[in-house]
């Protein structure tokens, strides 16, 4: 933090925003109470978990789950709520191909909204976005570790242009096994005749196939045709399990952008969209080791705030070297069931024919035979979160206010997923769960009514 003329600074944070309604037109006291602390902050960052377009671009063959789409005016609604910086790199970036990326960027640019994480090429996708406020200049760097193939931005060359897409933090996955299991994996590969196939592909794509293989690691080839085959990397380990590690070039490039933002702004926010949990888990409150290491590295590089989103559930809070790390902010607004149109691929996924409608897809994903919610999307944790507001005084963290929110799981579809300030037993439950999650980082949350408070260390 280079310092501004004002000694105080506050920043509010929102989780995943999947919004399709004009919530500025709704008269909801709970919603008005929710936006008050956001608007009162000097700046506010939200994760745009959708693409903005009017179906100009064709859908991709694969998506990040639901094919996310919202009308471009949804950006105005988030601004109405008080948000002025958008992180836009998500697992849904590629849902509508390059065209969906470009329409989203255009919609944000036309409105003068500072957004990070998307770009016409890799350098622009990695670059910080800046927002000037009375309390100083804020820089935002947005990256994504969970992505569909082809959604990462491409690097620009002197003779060939880059590819529009997101700022990636690509992961390498290693399966830790015992020495005996390691030998069995190698024997199985030889028995299936895969070693010879591997050898023939080494020159085809040495980066993707087996470049790190040695006496203690082994790549088990997963056939799928010469152009789509992959490999599973096994390693001898005293700690069996799934280990994910960012590729060094992506990690280092992102840390360099954070250093750049720290030199060119007064305050820096580092954002990561990640669905990964511990030991290969997805969409839970656990914090994988790579996220913890990356978050702390971002703070060391100059970030004043680090925030993770994507898992759709609340994660713990850590104060590291006097700077807050939010390991999961859950959903700010979650209206995927109101997406207006969906491509054929998602209907086929659930065995639905051309007579089916978008609500039928949602029901197939979330309801059992008795019409009861089942699975992750019926998980109440998806519908309860917080909006933090961090306060800084003379460059030092002064405290963090935590405003619990409910996304009204038990309401009708137009209301379900819409956030309101949580009060009473619901607000207490959310703050108590967040305290339980944060205990591993020695974080104490005090409660005053239905507002949590993390006080800075004396």
CA dist 312 and 366 (Å) reads 15
CA dist 308 and 311 (Å) reads 8
Backbone angles phi, psi at 346, to 5 degrees: -75, -30
The region that residue 213 occupies, defined by phi over 0 for left and psi between -120 and 50 for alpha, beta otherwise, is beta
Predicted local distance difference test score (pLDDT) of residue 420: 94
pLDDT band at 2 (very low <50, low <70, confident <90, very high): very low
pLDDT digits (tens, 9 = 90+) for 200-231: 776 666 655 554 566 788 988 887 754 556 78
Predicted local distance difference test score (pLDDT) of residue 222: 80
Give the mean pLDDT of 32-39: 94
Predicted local distance difference test score (pLDDT) of residue 197: 80
Give the mean pLDDT of 366-373: 82
> What tokens does 233 get?
């990397």
Return the DSSP state at 154: P
The answer on pLDDT for 66 being more than 80 is yes
pLDDT digits (tens, 9 = 90+) for 246-300: 999 999 999 999 999 999 999 999 999 999 999 999 999 999 999 999 999 999 9
DSSP codes, 188-247: HHHHTTHHHHHHHHTTT-TTTTTTT-BTTEEEEEE-S-TTT-EEEEEEE-SS-EEEEEE-
Report all structural domains of the chain as residue ranges with CATH numbers, in order of start.
9-157+248-334+379-455 (3.60.21), 172-244 (no CATH)
Cβ(230)–Cβ(251) below 8 Å: no
The proportion of the chain whose per-residue pLDDT surpasses 90, expressed as a percent, equals: 79
Give the mean pLDDT of 418-441: 96
Mean pLDDT estimate for the chain = 92
Predicted local distance difference test score (pLDDT) of residue 1: 44
The answer on pLDDT for 28 being more than 50 is yes
């Amino acid at each position: 933090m280079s310092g501004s003329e004002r000694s105080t600074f506050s920043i509010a944070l929102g989780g995943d925003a999947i919004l399709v309604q004009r919530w500025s037109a709704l008269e909801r006291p709970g919603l008005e109470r929710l936006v008050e602390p956001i608007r009162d902050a000097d700046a506010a960052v939200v994760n745009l978990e959708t693409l903005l377009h009017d179906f100009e671009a064709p859908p991709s063959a694969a998506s990040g789950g639901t094919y996310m789409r919202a009308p471009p005016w949804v950006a105005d609604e988030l601004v109405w709520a008080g948000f002025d910086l958008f992180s836009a790199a998500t697992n849904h970036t590629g849902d509508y191909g390059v065209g969906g990326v470009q329409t989203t960027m255009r919609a944000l640019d036309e409105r003068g909204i500072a957004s990070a994480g998307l770009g016409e090429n890799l350098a622009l996708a990695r670059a910080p976005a800046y927002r000037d406020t009375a309390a100083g200049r804020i820089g935002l760097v947005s990256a994504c570790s969970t992505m569909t193939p082809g959604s990462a931005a491409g690097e620009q060359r002197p003779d060939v242009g880059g590819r529009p897409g997101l700022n990636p933090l690509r992961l390498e996955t290693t399966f830790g096994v015992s020495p005996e299991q390691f030998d069995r994996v190698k024997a199985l590969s030889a028995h299936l005749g895969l070693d010879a196939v591997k050898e023939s592909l080494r020159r085809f794509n040495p980066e993707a196939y087996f470049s790190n293989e040695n006496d203690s690691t082994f790549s088990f080839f997963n056939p799928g045709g010469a152009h789509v085959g992959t490999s599973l990397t096994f390693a001898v380990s005293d700690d069996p399990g799934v280990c994910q590690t960012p590729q060094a070039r992506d990690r280092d490039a992102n840390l360099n952008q954070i250093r750049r933002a720290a030199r060119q702004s007064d305050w820096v926010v580092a954002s990561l969209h990640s669905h990964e949990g511990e030991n290969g888990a997805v969409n839970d409150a656990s914090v994988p080791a790579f996220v913890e290491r990356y978050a702390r590295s971002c703070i060391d590089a100059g970030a004043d705030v680090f925030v993770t989103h994507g898992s759709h559930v609340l994660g713990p809070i850590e104060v590291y070297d006097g700077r807050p790390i939010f390991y999961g902010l859950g959903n700010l607004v979650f209206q995927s069931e109101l997406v207006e149109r969906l491509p054929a691929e998602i209907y086929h996924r659930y065995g639905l024919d051309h007579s089916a409608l978008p609500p039928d897809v949602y029901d197939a994903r979330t309801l059992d035979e008795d019409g009861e919610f089942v699975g992750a999307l019926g998980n109440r944790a998806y519908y309860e979160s917080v909006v933090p507001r961090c306060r800084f005084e003379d460059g030092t963290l002064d405290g963090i206010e935590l405003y619990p929110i409910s996304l009204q799981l038990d309401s009708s579809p137009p209301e379900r997923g819409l956030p309101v300030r949580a009060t009473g037993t619901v607000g207490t439950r959310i703050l108590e769960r967040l305290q339980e999650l944060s205990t591993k980082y020695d974080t104490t949350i005090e409660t005053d009514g239905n507002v949590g408070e993390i006080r800075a260390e004396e």
